[in-house]
Chain A
Amino acid sequence: MSTTATAPAPRRNLFSRGLEALLTQRIVLLAVLIVLVLAVMMSLDAAGQLSGSYNADYLASSLISAVPLAILGLAQLLVILSGRGGIDLSVGSIVSLTGIFFGLAYGTWGWSFFSSLVLAIIVGGVCGAINGALVSYIGFPPLIATLATYYAFRSLALVISDQKPINSPEIQEFYSAAQSIELPVIGGTLPLIPLGIFTFLIPCVVIVWLVLNKTTFGRRLYAIGTNDVAAAWSGINVKPNRMAVYVLSGVLAGLVAVVTVAQFASARPDAGTSGNGMALPAITIAVLGGVAITGGIGRVSGIVLATLLIVWLNAGILLALPGNDGSQFQLLALGLVLIFASLLNGITKRRYGGL
């Protein structure tokens, strides 16, 4: 390891340096893959193989599904970064439970949007705090703690709502929050981008990036995730910091709940848990984005690029294979990309030493 780090790199050609960047830097790999997906889909479109046109408007409108995926991916990034097998299986259930509370507050109790939003954040935060306390203070393995709360929160969401979705008129009008808008200034020159990107996704991305890179909390988090014993010896109070990431993960899931209520125009008690749920895709995004499952390694940009790759790949698959076939092949694509990316991780680690 130390020899490779200190070895001088005498004139290596551009190609081998490019290859190394491609293999060792997840950001570069993801960017190349996105370009590849776009190129293949555009050429299929040009050849008339697709059922619709794969153009900028379509790409922009498909971003609506990126909002929950990327925000939950960020939640997993924070949790996995904190190390010791950090993972949050319960985010989908938190989305369901918080969505019901938000739906009750905004749709049934007649609260204002702002106070309902605050309630959603608080409920998400409390759910996350339960996870955090179990993991950080009692010492549960995160997989077990969040598996338990996955069951508990999912059950609570269904029991509280009596298994019925909440779709009062207020909630149905709230659908407008998920619509696409024209940017006021540059207007017509850009494709219509879903409003949720500006109101939820971009603020979350910016805040998480600032927290991870520009605050002491963020830098401590990387230290804890890399080696929490060393972190403790260097004077970091590990427990509250580790608990905080689970609270943050819950808060982010609470925000996603509000987004999903807007998207479905109803607060569904199984919003985050139906089918495969939301947790598994989010973990997949995090791993694809180059977050090391052992903790301490991972970047916000990786999450964003991984989300774009999956969303645009899925959108292309839907055009190439309409209907049921499309959604089935999306599963295949997700599985193959995940396995390919993680095997590549293992190989590059051995070849170049470290990510």
Chain B
Amino acid sequence: MTLEKPTTGGEGAAAPARASAHRILPPPVTGQEFVLVGVIAVLWILLGIFTPAFLSPSSIQPLLVSVAPIALIGVGMTFIIITAGIDVSVGGAIMLCAVITAKLLVTYDVPLLVAVLLSIGIGIVLGVINGMLIAYGRVHAIIITFGTANIFQFLALRVFGSSTVNGIPSTLEVFGRGEAGRTFGVPHSFAITIIAVALAWWYLRHTSGGRHLFAIGGNTQAARLAGIKVQPRVVLAYGLTGALVGLAACFFIASGTSTLDQSIGSGRELAVIAAVVIGGTSILGGRGSVIGTLLGAVLVQTVTSGVTQLGWPSQLANLFVGVFIIIAVGTDLLRERARKTS
């Protein structure tokens, strides 16, 4: 012990050794999240100054409604990316869950609970298929999910049958943009998302299952040798994402019109991944937070609705999303580098 001290040397060695007795977990809220809160606050203040309508409930409520599905799926995607995986099939999965649920609502007029549970059930099946192929087929996640994305889209288009789904009843309006979708001014879909984020935060930070996910992402081989059942954990992460996709599909139906067209879900996988990486989750695995993902989704949606309200071309929003991804990940990279060299 005394011999080791000079070799590890420097001020860095002694301090963590003392602190580690008290702090095994990372701090509950990380630096990236404070930065995001700051950026969102600055944006909201600026938008409030330039477009006075922005800080009114009639502008914030729709913003939160559109944040909800992205952040909700983002929770699952954070789990997956923490295990060093990725799921690019969520766009196709949203489409399939949404079209089946919408058809059921139109044809059989099923009650709310049945519709939601069915949608979640379908989502779980799709997610577990992904998870099984990735965990037991030992193929890189991006390849498998590119493949299943095509198959999910195919199935969804078959259900669509080359037309839109029309005349969807207002069963799901409790998740929608309207008056029925709010309690005390808070959209239900956003409240559900907050609860999901809180539960996921607790699971990732304070249960052995959650810590196992980080271990798998950090080093799969080491995790396996430490006795973690890697494959069931990975399947769980994809299955959870599937369940959340099912719920989010209901949000998408509710926040749209009574017509569901075939563009539903298209491109959403990239929006979700963007929210996750802006939130500070490392795409290499082993590091990430669901609170960051929620903030990332809020940031992306703020930019999108801010650009429209400023009267700029709405397509400009994506340019800012791209720039924010680069800034968010770039500052994280620079911090990491500083941490290593110090």
Residues of A within 8 A of B (CB): 85, 87, 89, 134, 138-141, 143-145, 147-156, 158-159, 162-163, 275-276, 280, 283-284, 287, 293-294, 324, 328-329, 331-332, 334-336, 338-339, 342-343, 345-346
B321 CB–A CB distance under 8 Å = yes
CB pair B322–A150 under 8 Å, yes or no, is yes
CB pair A342–B139 under 8 Å, yes or no, is yes
Residues of B within 8 A of A (CB): 86, 88, 133, 137-140, 142-144, 146-151, 153-154, 157-158, 162, 266, 270, 273-274, 277, 283-284, 313, 315-319, 321-323, 325-326, 329-330, 333, 337
B313 surroundings in chain A (CB, below 8 A): 158-159, 162-163
A346 surroundings in chain B (CB, below 8 A): 137-139
7 contacts between A and B (CB under 8 A): A139-B333, A139-B337, A148-B326, A152-B323, A280-B149, A328-B158, A331-B150
CB pair B325–A144 under 8 Å, yes or no, is yes
Bound-state Cα–Cα, A24 to B154, Å: 30
B137 surroundings in chain A (CB, below 8 A): 342-343, 346
Query: Given A328-B154, A331-B150: A338 and B143 within 8 A (CB)?
Result: yes
CB pair A284–B146 under 8 Å, yes or no, is yes
Query: Given A141-B284, A156-B319, A328-B154: A342 and B144 within 8 A (CB)?
Result: yes
* Nearest CB in chain A: distance from B46 CB, A: 20
Please give me the residue from chain B that is nearest to A142 by CB atom: B283
CB pair A155–B317 under 8 Å, yes or no, is yes
Please give me the residue from chain A that is nearest to B307 by CB atom: A155
Bound-state Cα–Cα, A141 to B19, Å: 31
A151 surroundings in chain B (CB, below 8 A): 270, 274, 318-319, 321-322, 325
* Nearest CB in chain A: distance from B279 CB, A: 12
Find A331's partner among B138, B154, B274 (CB 8 Å cutoff).
B154
CB pair B151–A332 under 8 Å, yes or no, is yes
A158 surroundings in chain B (CB, below 8 A): 313, 315
Residue among B133, B274, B315, B333 with max Cβ neighbours from chain A (10 Å)? B315
Bound-state Cα–Cα, A156 to B315, Å: 8
Find B266's partner among A143, A275, A287, A338 (CB 8 Å cutoff).
A275
Please give me the residue from chain A that is nearest to B162 by CB atom: A324
Bound-state Cα–Cα, A324 to B315, Å: 29
CB pair A293–B150 under 8 Å, yes or no, is no
* Nearest CB in chain A: distance from B86 CB, A: 7
CB pair A138–B322 under 8 Å, yes or no, is no
* Nearest CB in chain B: distance from A233 CB, A: 20
CB pair B153–A331 under 8 Å, yes or no, is yes
* Nearest CB in chain A: distance from B18 CB, A: 31
A147 surroundings in chain B (CB, below 8 A): 270, 273-274, 277, 325
Interface contacts beyond A141-B329, A335-B154: sample of 11 additional A-B pairs, CB < 8 Å, sorted by A:
A89-B270, A151-B325, A155-B317, A159-B313, A159-B315, A284-B146, A324-B162, A328-B158, A336-B151, A342-B140, A346-B139
Please give me the residue from chain B that is nearest to A337 by CB atom: B147
A149 surroundings in chain B (CB, below 8 A): 322
Find A342's partner among B86, B147, B318, B329 (CB 8 Å cutoff).
B147
* Nearest CB in chain A: distance from B253 CB, A: 22
Please give me the residue from chain B that is nearest to A324 by CB atom: B162
For the complex of A and B, list the 8 residue pairs with the smallest distance between their C-beta atoms, beginning with the closest.
A335-B150, A152-B322, A151-B322, A155-B318, A148-B325, A158-B315, A155-B319, A339-B147
CB pair A140–B140 under 8 Å, yes or no, is no
CB pair B266–A339 under 8 Å, yes or no, is no
A335 surroundings in chain B (CB, below 8 A): 147-151, 154
Please give me the residue from chain B that is nearest to A269 by CB atom: B315
* Nearest CB in chain B: distance from A298 CB, A: 14
Bound-state Cα–Cα, A8 to B303, Å: 64
A280 surroundings in chain B (CB, below 8 A): 88, 146, 149
B284 surroundings in chain A (CB, below 8 A): 85, 141
B133 surroundings in chain A (CB, below 8 A): 339, 343
B153 surroundings in chain A (CB, below 8 A): 276, 331
A85 surroundings in chain B (CB, below 8 A): 284
CB pair B157–A328 under 8 Å, yes or no, is yes
* Nearest CB in chain A: distance from B158 CB, A: 6
Residue among B139, B148, B266 with max Cβ neighbours from chain A (10 Å)? B139
Find A329's partner among B154, B318, B337 (CB 8 Å cutoff).
B154
Bound-state Cα–Cα, A338 to B140, Å: 12
B138 surroundings in chain A (CB, below 8 A): 346
A89 surroundings in chain B (CB, below 8 A): 270
CB pair A339–B326 under 8 Å, yes or no, is no
Bound-state Cα–Cα, A163 to B283, Å: 33
Bound-state Cα–Cα, A153 to B273, Å: 18
A87 surroundings in chain B (CB, below 8 A): 142
* Nearest CB in chain A: distance from B88 CB, A: 8
Residue among A155, A280, A324 with max Cβ neighbours from chain B (10 Å)? A155
Bound-state Cα–Cα, A169 to B315, Å: 27
CB pair A338–B150 under 8 Å, yes or no, is yes
Find B142's partner among A150, A293, A343 (CB 8 Å cutoff).
A293
* Nearest CB in chain A: distance from B78 CB, A: 15
Bound-state Cα–Cα, A187 to B61, Å: 67
Please give me the residue from chain A that is nearest to B88 by CB atom: A280
B270 surroundings in chain A (CB, below 8 A): 89, 147, 150-151
A328 surroundings in chain B (CB, below 8 A): 154, 157-158
Query: Given A134-B326, A140-B333, A155-B319: A342 and B151 within 8 A (CB)?
Result: no
